[in-house]
Amino acid sequence: MAEETRLFTYIDAINSAYREEMQRDERVIMFGEDVISMQGSARETTGIFEQFGPDRIKDTPIVEEAIVGMAMGAGMTGLRPIGFLMFASLMMCAFDQVWLKLGCNRQEWGYRGPLPVVLHCMVIGGTGIGMDHAVSPEALLVHCPGLKIVMPSTAYDAKGLMKTAIRDDEPVVYFSHRGLYFGEKEAIPSEEYLIPFGKADVKREGKDITIVSYSAMVRKVLAAAEELGKEGINAEVVDLRSLVPMDIDTVVKSVKKTGRLLIVHEAMKRGGVAGEIVFRFMEAAPDAVKTMKSPIKRLAAKNVALIRSRKMEPLLIPQIQDIVETVKGMV
Amino acid sequence: MAEETRLFTYIDAINSAYREEMQRDERVIMFGEDVISMQGSARETTGIFEQFGPDRIKDTPIVEEAIVGMAMGAGMTGLRPIGFLMFASLMMCAFDQVWLKLGCNRQEWGYRGPLPVVLHCMVIGGTGIGMDHAVSPEALLVHCPGLKIVMPSTAYDAKGLMKTAIRDDEPVVYFSHRGLYFGEKEAIPSEEYLIPFGKADVKREGKDITIVSYSAMVRKVLAAAEELGKEGINAEVVDLRSLVPMDIDTVVKSVKKTGRLLIVHEAMKRGGVAGEIVFRFMEAAPDAVKTMKSPIKRLAAKNVALIRSRKMEPLLIPQIQDIVETVKGMV
Amino acid sequence: MEIPKEKLLEMYRNLVRARILSEKLYEVFTTEGSMMQGLHRGLGEEAIPVAVCANLKKGDYYKPSGVRMHPYLFLREGFTMRDSIASECGRDLEKVGGHQTYVSPELGIIGKSGVLGEDAPMYVGAALSAMVRKSDQITIYTCGDGTANRAPLHESMVVAAAWKLPIIFMIENNQYGMGTSVKKSYAIEDLSDRAKAYGFPGQSVDGNDVMALYEVIKEYTERTRSGGGPGLIVAETYRVEGHMVSDTQLYRPKGESAEWWKKEPLARYQKSLMDMGIITDKDVTEAEKEARAEADKAGEDALAIPFLEYEDYIKSALDVL
Amino acid sequence: MEIPKEKLLEMYRNLVRARILSEKLYEVFTTEGSMMQGLHRGLGEEAIPVAVCANLKKGDYYKPSGVRMHPYLFLREGFTMRDSIASECGRDLEKVGGHQTYVSPELGIIGKSGVLGEDAPMYVGAALSAMVRKSDQITIYTCGDGTANRAPLHESMVVAAAWKLPIIFMIENNQYGMGTSVKKSYAIEDLSDRAKAYGFPGQSVDGNDVMALYEVIKEYTERTRSGGGPGLIVAETYRVEGHMVSDTQLYRPKGESAEWWKKEPLARYQKSLMDMGIITDKDVTEAEKEARAEADKAGEDALAIPFLEYEDYIKSALDVL
Ligand SMILES: Cc1ncc(C[n+]2csc(CCOP(=O)(O)OP(=O)(O)O)c2C)c(N)n1
Ligand SMILES: Cc1ncc(C[n+]2csc(CCOP(=O)(O)OP(=O)(O)O)c2C)c(N)n1
Ligand SMILES: [Mg+2]
Ligand SMILES: [Mg+2]
* 3-state secondary structure at position C180: strand
> How many angstroms separate the Cα of D169 from the Cα of each of C222, D52, D63, D114, D138?
37, 12, 10, 18, 11
pLDDT of D35:
87
How far does residue C148's CA lie from ligand 3's centre (Å)?
A: 9
Query: How do D176-177 and D180-181 pair as beta strands?
Result: antiparallel
Of residues A106, A143, A308, nearest to B139 (C-beta): A143
Q: Tell me whether residues D119 and A101 touch, CB distance under 8 A.
A: yes
Q: Residue C1 carries which side chain, given as an amino acid letter?
A: M
**Rounded distance, CA C227 to CA D40, Å?**
39
Instruction: Quickly list H helices, C133-196.
Output: 151-163, 182-185
Q: Tell me whether residues D125 and A69 touch, CB distance under 8 A.
A: yes
Q: How many CB atoms lie within 10 A of CB A282?
A: 22
pLDDT digits (tens, 9 = 90+) for C16-27: 999 999 999 999
- Read off the pTM: 0.97
What residues have a C-beta under 5 A from ligand 3, the ion?
C 144-146, 174, 177
Nearest in space to B158 (alpha carbons), one of B122, B133, B130: B122
> Ligand 1 test: best mutation among C63, C67, C113, most atoms within 8 Å of CB?
C67
Residues 6+ apart with CB under 8 A from A30: A18, A22, A45, A48, A56, A57, A58, A81, A82, A83, A84
Residue owning the nearest CA to atom 6 of ligand 2 = B86
Q: How many CB atoms lie within 10 A of CB B231?
A: 11
C67: pLDDT strictly greater than 90: no
Residue owning the nearest CA to atom 21 of ligand 1 = C144
Is residue B2 very low, low, confident or very high in pLDDT (cuts 50, 70, 90)?
Answer: very low
How far does residue C88's CA lie from ligand 4's centre (Å)?
A: 47
pLDDT digits (tens, 9 = 90+) for D85-116: 998 888 877 766 545 678 899 999 999 999 99
Ligand 1 and A62: CB distance under 6 A: yes
Ligand 2 and D247: CB distance under 6 A: no
Ligand 2 and D112: CB distance under 6 A: no
pLDDT digits (tens, 9 = 90+) for D28-67: 999 998 888 788 899 999 999 999 999 999 999 999 998 8
Q: List the single residue in D with minimal CA-CA distance to A61.
A: D159
Is residue C100 very low, low, confident or very high in pLDDT (cuts 50, 70, 90)?
Answer: low
Phi-psi region of C175 (alpha: psi -120 to 50; beta: other; left: phi over 0): left
Looking at chain D from residue 297 to 316, which residues have their Cβ under 8 Å from any Cβ of chain B?
A: 307-308, 310, 313-314
Q: Tell me whether residues D187 and C155 touch, CB distance under 8 A.
A: no
pLDDT digits (tens, 9 = 90+) for C202-237: 999 999 999 999 999 999 999 999 999 999 999 999
Give the mean pLDDT of B193-217: 98
Cα atoms found within 13 Å of the Cα of residue A139, Cβ hemisphere only: 29
Instruction: Quickly list H helices, C63-201.
Output: 81-88, 120-132, 151-163, 182-185
Neighboring chain C residues of B71 at a CB cutoff of 8 Å: 125
pLDDT digits (tens, 9 = 90+) for B149-186: 999 999 999 999 999 999 999 999 999 999 999 998 99
- Angle CA(C70)–CA(C291)–CA(C12) in degrees, nearest 5? 80
In sequence order, the β-bridge partners of residue A211 are A237, A262
Nearest in space to A256 (alpha carbons), one of A232, A290, A222: A290
Residues 6+ apart with CB under 8 A from D16: D266, D284, D287, D288, D291
Catalytic center residues of B? 133
Shortest alpha-carbon distance between residue C58 and chain D (Å): 30
Neighboring chain A residues of C320 at a CB cutoff of 8 Å: 303
Q: Tell me whether residues A111 and D111 touch, CB distance under 8 A.
A: yes
- Which superfamily is assigned to B5-189 in CATH? Thiamin diphosphate (ThDP)-binding fold, Pyr/PP domains (3.40.50.970)
pLDDT of D38:
83
Q: Tell me whether residues C162 and D187 touch, CB distance under 8 A.
A: yes
What residues have a C-beta under 5 A from ligand 4, the ion?
D 144-146, 174, 177
Q: List the single residue in C with minimal CA-CA distance to D118.
A: C151
Q: List the single residue in A with minimal CA-CA distance to D132.
A: A55
Asked if D188 is an interface residue toward chain C (Cβ–Cβ < 8 A), one would say: yes
| φ, ψ (nearest 5 deg) of residue D178 | 50, -115
- Boundaries of every domain in chain A: 5-189, 201-330
Q: List the single residue in B with minimal CA-CA distance to C157.
A: B66
**Rounded distance, CA D221 to CA D243, Å?**
30
How far does residue D146's CA lie from ligand 2's centre (Å)?
A: 6
Residues 6+ apart with CB under 8 A from A211: A221, A224, A225, A235, A236, A237, A238, A262, A263, A264, A323, A327
Looking from the CA of residue C182, the nearest atom of ligand 1 is: 16
B5: pLDDT strictly greater than 60: no
Which chains form contacts with chain B, at 3 or more CB pairs under 8 Å? A, C, D
**Rounded distance, CA C11 to CA C72, Å?**
13
Give the mean pLDDT of C279-303: 97
pLDDT digits (tens, 9 = 90+) for D58-70: 999 999 998 899 9
Q: Contact, C74 vs C84, CB < 8 A?
A: yes
D319: pLDDT strictly greater than 60: no
Q: Tell me whether residues A72 and D121 touch, CB distance under 8 A.
A: yes
Catalytic choice (A133, A143, A177, A265) = A133
Domain B201-330: which CATH class? alpha beta
Q: Tell me whether residues B69 and C118 touch, CB distance under 8 A.
A: yes
Within this chain, domains A5-189 and A201-330 share the same CATH topology: yes
D172: pLDDT strictly greater than 70: yes
**Rounded distance, CA B198 to CA B164, Å?**
11
Q: How many CB atoms lie within 10 A of CB B283?
A: 16
Instruction: Quickly list H helices, chain B.
Output: 2-5, 10-24, 48-52, 64-76, 95, 106-109, 131-134, 138-142, 155-167, 178-181, 216-230, 248-258, 273-284, 288-291, 313-316, 320-330
Torsion of CA C293, C299, C302, C303, to 10 degrees: -140
Query: How do B148-150 and B242-244 pair as beta strands?
Result: antiparallel
**Rounded distance, CA B150 to CA B73, Å?**
22
D309: pLDDT strictly greater than 90: no
Give the mean pLDDT of D143-157: 98
Is residue C1 very low, low, confident or very high in pLDDT (cuts 50, 70, 90)?
Answer: low
- When scoring C132, C137, C156, C307 by the number of chain B Cβ atoms within 10 A, the one with the most, hence best to mutate, is C132
Is residue D1 very low, low, confident or very high in pLDDT (cuts 50, 70, 90)?
Answer: low
| φ, ψ (nearest 5 deg) of residue C265 | -70, -35
Neighboring chain D residues of C194 at a CB cutoff of 8 Å: 197
Mean pLDDT of chain A: 95
Shortest alpha-carbon distance between residue D155 and chain B (Å): 13
Q: Which ligand has an atom closest to residue B33 CA? A: 2
Helix (H) or strand (E) holding B265, with range, is strand B261-268
Of residues A110, A276, A290, nearest to B271 (C-beta): A276
pLDDT digits (tens, 9 = 90+) for A93-136: 999 999 999 999 988 888 888 999 999 999 999 888 889 999 99
Q: Tell me whether residues C307 and A92 touch, CB distance under 8 A.
A: no
Q: Tell me whether residues C319 and A303 touch, CB distance under 8 A.
A: yes
Is the domain spanning D5-243+257-320 CATH 3.40.50.970? The answer is yes
**Rounded distance, CA B233 to CA A6, Å?**
65
Give the mean pLDDT of B267-291: 96
Give the mean pLDDT of A176-191: 94
Mean pLDDT of chain D: 94
Give the mean pLDDT of B26-53: 95
Percentage of residues of chain D with pLDDT beyond 90: 83
* 3-state secondary structure at position D68: coil
C98: pLDDT strictly greater than 60: no
Three-state SS across D163-181? Answer: HCCCEEEEEEECCEECCEE
Task: Report which DSSP code applies to D198.
Answer: T
Shortest alpha-carbon distance between residue B196 and chain C (Å): 14
Ligand 1 and C207: CB distance under 6 A: no
Residues 6+ apart with CB under 8 A from B71: B31, B81, B82, B83, B102, B117, B118, B119, C125
**Rounded distance, CA D173 to CA D239, Å?**
9
B3: pLDDT strictly greater than 50: no
- When scoring C65, C99, C188, C313 by the number of chain A Cβ atoms within 10 A, the one with the most, hence best to mutate, is C313
> With 0-12 CB in 10 A as exposed, 13-18 as middle and 19+ as buried, what is A259?
middle
Of residues C152, C185, C197, nearest to D197 (C-beta): C197
**Rounded distance, CA C105 to CA D167, Å?**
44
pLDDT digits (tens, 9 = 90+) for A212-234: 999 999 999 999 999 999 999 99
C95: pLDDT strictly greater than 80: no
Percentage of residues of chain B with pLDDT beyond 70: 98
Ligand 1 and A86: CB distance under 6 A: yes
Neighboring chain B residues of C118 at a CB cutoff of 8 Å: 65, 69, 96-97, 100-101
**Rounded distance, CA A209 to CA C104, Å?**
49
Q: Contact, D198 vs C188, CB < 8 A?
A: yes
> With 0-12 CB in 10 A as exposed, 13-18 as middle and 19+ as buried, what is C268?
middle
Give the mean pLDDT of A10-27: 97
Looking from the CA of residue C68, the nearest atom of ligand 1 is: 21
pLDDT digits (tens, 9 = 90+) for A194-217: 999 999 999 999 999 999 999 999
**Rounded distance, CA A146 to CA B31, Å?**
33
Q: Residue D75 carries which side chain, given as an amino acid letter?
A: L
Q: List the single residue in A with minimal CA-CA distance to C309.
A: A312
Ligand 2 and D64: CB distance under 6 A: no
Torsion sign, CA atoms D11, D14, D16, D21: negative
- Predicted ipTM of the assembly: 0.97
